[in-house]
Structure 1
Amino acid sequence: MPTAAHNTAIDVPRGLKGVIVTETALGDVRGTEGFYHYRGFSAVELAEKRTFEDVWQLMFFGTLPDASQRAAFAAQTAAPRHLPPAVRDALPAIARATALSGPLTGLRTALSLVGAAAGFRPLYDIEPERRRADALAACAAVPTLLTALHRLGQGLEPVEPRDDLPYAANYLYMLTGRDPDPAKARAIEHYLISTVDHGFNASTFTARVIASTGADLAACLVGAIGALSGPLHGGAPSRALDTLDAIGTPDRIDAWLRERILAGDRIMGFGHPVYRTEDPRSRMLKGIARSFGGDLVDFAVQVEARAEAVLAELKPGRELHTNVEFFAGVVMELCGLPREMFTPTFAAARAVGWSANILEQAADSKIIRPSARYTGPPPVRPVPAA
């Protein structure tokens, strides 16, 4: 007999598509308009006009800083870039253990250790100021952890962070050990800002589900990283470049695309579950890629154009546009990032958005507890004797 819980259950689409599960003041994605924002400001315009630290402060505190506030926030977030000895000493072992899976897998362990070493307590038990301090510390540590794990995996010593460099430039510096080219640092900053937040994607929703239990901030971020690691979520930038590699040369574009489209295969770097128009992030990053120029950019633009044309021919009425991963991969390649660091770089940006969502969720202690429809054998089955 159905229980009371079953009587009050509500059927929703698979994957919760289109279902509103909470309210947020952090931002929104308007897929039919090809637009998304952070606290009412166009995310693309923020990337073009502001720094990563400015957007970080906007997401955490609700306002964009003036010059003096910017300097104070930069100083506040520079200090926790430096890892405590207990964490730093453990990184070589973590890098060895995750040698086959890469820095993003290592980040899960390392970030959990950061939270433990710093004494992160359950969100449920601490005040908003302490929650925000934990979030600032965790977000500041992510680039240091990622670059250290990557370099250790390459047989290189980690590079200590510099307090005088902004977030994006410091990330490139710790990755390469060299002063970053300003144009490349700014290009990466554009990318980082454009991927801070993007609605209730899988990793953000995961972070909020964990936050709704009152768990500590590191636990929430570790869960989000796990969701991001899936190839259908954050794992696509390098795979989009793999698509270009598989096509190889311009004369093979149409044949390769036709084969994949007719077979119903997914083409990495194309399509988005929300946007029904051009992804605004892709449009911005395409412009950045073109500012660098070169054969890779020309080839990517050509593939994009032919993909839209071939789909229009084979599947009339069905639109297919590049998503953020397609030209993000091109830009990161041009800026010298190794492909195994593409998705970790995504995480270095999204950690700020995750944390802002975690802080917002922690202000509402209602646990997220949906239901499921049982489809197994009818109960109650007799238990056979052994």
Structure 2
Amino acid sequence: MHSTTASASASVAVPRGLAGVVVTDTALGDVRGREGFYHYRQYSAAELARSRGFEDIWHLMFHGHLPDAAERAAFLARTASLRRLPDEVRAALPAIARASAPSGPLAGLRTALSLLGAAAGLRPVYDLAPEERRADALAACAAVPTLLTALHRLGEGLEPVEPRADLPYAANYLYMLTGTEPDPVRARAVEQYLNSTVDHGFNASTFTGRVIASTGADVVAALTGAIGALSGPLHGGAPSRALDTLDAIGTPGRSRSWIRERVLAGDRIMGFGHPVYRTEDPRSRMLRTIAEEFGGPLVELAVQVERDVVDLLAELKPGRELHTNVEFYAGVVMELCGLPRQMFTPTFCAARVIGWSANILEQSADSKIIRPAARYTGPPPPQPVPAV
């Protein structure tokens, strides 16, 4: 039998975008979109976000269980010790920041993280024992906030701020970003946001990281690919765009007329809708509570807009439900906590790097490369090659 015919007969047709296709087993967590629920391992992710620190969730994702007091102290000390960058990476950051200035810190992170991996001599996960893989992933994750904040500050004409080992992950991130030790209330709000975005099923960036890990490449190679996927506007760019919507509306009194016009025109309203959830996004629910604790005009506007979108859709598009997603109130919370908008998606990345790494470690235990097929739809081969 001809090879292409054999290949075609062995193929399985799947929906565009692999929607609903199960490609592997995982013990890391899942998203149950119809229930409005997601989890990290066996725990509700929203409950963990409300009640635990970021390092506890990091430990859970990497080691499979929540730490006790002694394990927490040891993990905090170990990850904090990995925050400082090698001299050769620090020396290259000004040039990387200049080159990536038009696109921002997330673009610079791809280059800086690759350099970090090369400088550290990271080896392919295929050649490493599980503990060696975990050590590489810990080092990469710990360095990401340092790289992101340094690239941002350099892009603003400021000197990077060295990390502090005495601060937890979120507070240290804000300290490196601003140069000032953060207010505990704002540090905790940002930590809860980070907690809520560590992992979220087999999204595009997570799957990208796992595909690269399946080749046996090093941890940083897989993380860099995941960052590239996150940089796409259909995946990671919405928190600041949701705030742009609130800016455009301006006041609660303009909300209904602005939304009505957009709904009738068939325009997308940023910060609403999700490809998985068919009910309220639990991350949005938690972040709305955090925002309401801050209060103020921006929060009042956001709550009014959310209410008006739901009401007007019921009136104008009966049967079409649209709820806020994580980006809507994430943008509000980060704005209230003083993060610049160009750092919204990088801040998401500072959390999601943990989930990517956990998926990379899990994938590394499987020696089977991910190698799907495509259906050829061009002119029938073989065609005669034209003479020159």
TM-score by length of 2: 0.98
Match for residue 313 of structure 1?
Answer: 315
**Among residues 58, 76, 79, which one is paired with 2:78 in the alignment?**
76
Check conservation: 2:206, 2:359, Cα contact below 8 A. yes
Match for residue 171 of structure 1?
Answer: 173
One-letter amino acid of the structure 1 residue matched with residue 29 of structure 2: G
Structure 2 CA distance for aligned equivalents of residues 222 and 358 of structure 1: 12
Match for residue 138 of structure 2?
Answer: 136
Q: Please give the secondary structure, in 1, of the residue aligned with 2:346.
A: helix
**Among residues 5, 9, 12, which one is paired with 2:11 in the alignment?**
9
Q: Please give the secondary structure, in 2, of the residue aligned with 1:322.
A: coil
% of aligned pairs identical?
78
Tell me the C-alpha RMSD between the 2 structures: 0.8
Q: Please give the secondary structure, in 2, of the residue aligned with 1:28.
A: strand
Q: Shift of the alpha carbon at 1:259?
A: 2.4
Structure 2 CA distance for aligned equivalents of residues 82 and 253 of structure 1: 46
Structure 2 CA distance for aligned equivalents of residues 361 and 66 of structure 1: 27
Check conservation: 2:61, 2:358, Cα contact below 8 A. yes
**1:49 and 2:31 matched:** no
Structure 1 CA distance for aligned equivalents of residues 376 and 265 of structure 2: 33
Match for residue 375 of structure 2?
Answer: 373
One-letter amino acid of the structure 2 residue matched with residue 62 of structure 1: G
**Among residues 289, 298, 301, which one is paired with 1:299 in the alignment?**
301
Match for residue 99 of structure 2?
Answer: 97
**1:247 and 2:249 matched:** yes
Match for residue 195 of structure 1?
Answer: 197
Q: Deviations over 1:326-378 (max 9, x none)?
A: 00000000000000000000000000000000000000011111111111112
Structure 2 CA distance for aligned equivalents of residues 240 and 26 of structure 1: 29
Check conservation: 2:89, 2:116, Cα contact below 8 A. yes
Match for residue 364 of structure 2?
Answer: 362
Structure 1 CA distance for aligned equivalents of residues 30 and 321 of structure 2: 22
Q: Please give the secondary structure, in 2, of the residue aligned with 1:3.
A: helix
**Among residues 21, 42, 48, which one is paired with 2:23 in the alignment?**
21
Residue ranges of structure 1 left out of the alignment (5+ in a row) = none
Q: Shift of the alpha carbon at 1:383?
A: 1.4
One-letter amino acid of the structure 1 residue matched with residue 346 of structure 2: P
Aligned length: 386
Check conservation: 2:94, 2:154, Cα contact below 8 A. yes
Q: Deviations over 1:227-285 (max 9, x none)?
A: 10111111100000011112222232222222222222221100000000000000000
Match for residue 217 of structure 2?
Answer: 215
Structure 1 CA distance for aligned equivalents of residues 264 and 16 of structure 2: 25
One-letter amino acid of the structure 2 residue matched with residue 383 of structure 1: V
Match for residue 342 of structure 2?
Answer: 340
Q: Shift of the alpha carbon at 1:208?
A: 0.2
Residue ranges of structure 2 left out of the alignment (5+ in a row) = none
Match for residue 232 of structure 1?
Answer: 234
Q: Please give the secondary structure, in 1, of the residue aligned with 2:110.
A: helix
One-letter amino acid of the structure 2 residue matched with residue 140 of structure 1: A
Q: Please give the secondary structure, in 1, of the residue aligned with 2:7.
A: helix
Structure 2 CA distance for aligned equivalents of residues 339 and 140 of structure 1: 23
Structure 2 CA distance for aligned equivalents of residues 51 and 4 of structure 1: 53
Structure 2 CA distance for aligned equivalents of residues 269 and 50 of structure 1: 26
Check conservation: 2:112, 2:147, Cα contact below 8 A. yes
Match for residue 34 of structure 2?
Answer: 32
Q: Please give the secondary structure, in 1, of the residue aligned with 2:81.
A: helix
One-letter amino acid of the structure 2 residue matched with residue 246 of structure 1: A
**Among residues 259, 262, 265, which one is paired with 2:264 in the alignment?**
262
Structure 1 CA distance for aligned equivalents of residues 269 and 6 of structure 2: 45
**1:353 and 2:355 matched:** yes
Structure 1 CA distance for aligned equivalents of residues 311 and 383 of structure 2: 56
Structure 1 CA distance for aligned equivalents of residues 258 and 384 of structure 2: 55
Q: Shift of the alpha carbon at 1:314?
A: 1.3
Q: Shift of the alpha carbon at 1:175?
A: 0.3
Q: Deviations over 1:116-143 (max 9, x none)?
A: 1111101111111110000000000000
Structure 2 CA distance for aligned equivalents of residues 327 and 249 of structure 1: 17
Deviates more, 1:266-275 or 1:255-264: 255-264
**Among residues 181, 185, 188, which one is paired with 2:187 in the alignment?**
185
Structure 2 CA distance for aligned equivalents of residues 207 and 125 of structure 1: 18
Structure 2 CA distance for aligned equivalents of residues 251 and 12 of structure 1: 46
Structure 1 CA distance for aligned equivalents of residues 180 and 255 of structure 2: 37
**Among residues 39, 59, 62, which one is paired with 1:60 in the alignment?**
62
Structure 2 CA distance for aligned equivalents of residues 308 and 132 of structure 1: 44
Match for residue 206 of structure 1?
Answer: 208
Q: Please give the secondary structure, in 2, of the residue aligned with 1:37.
A: strand
Q: Shift of the alpha carbon at 1:312?
A: 1.1
Structure 2 CA distance for aligned equivalents of residues 374 and 309 of structure 1: 46
**1:156 and 2:161 matched:** no
Match for residue 85 of structure 1?
Answer: 87
TM-score by length of 1: 0.99
Check conservation: 2:252, 2:300, Cα contact below 8 A. no
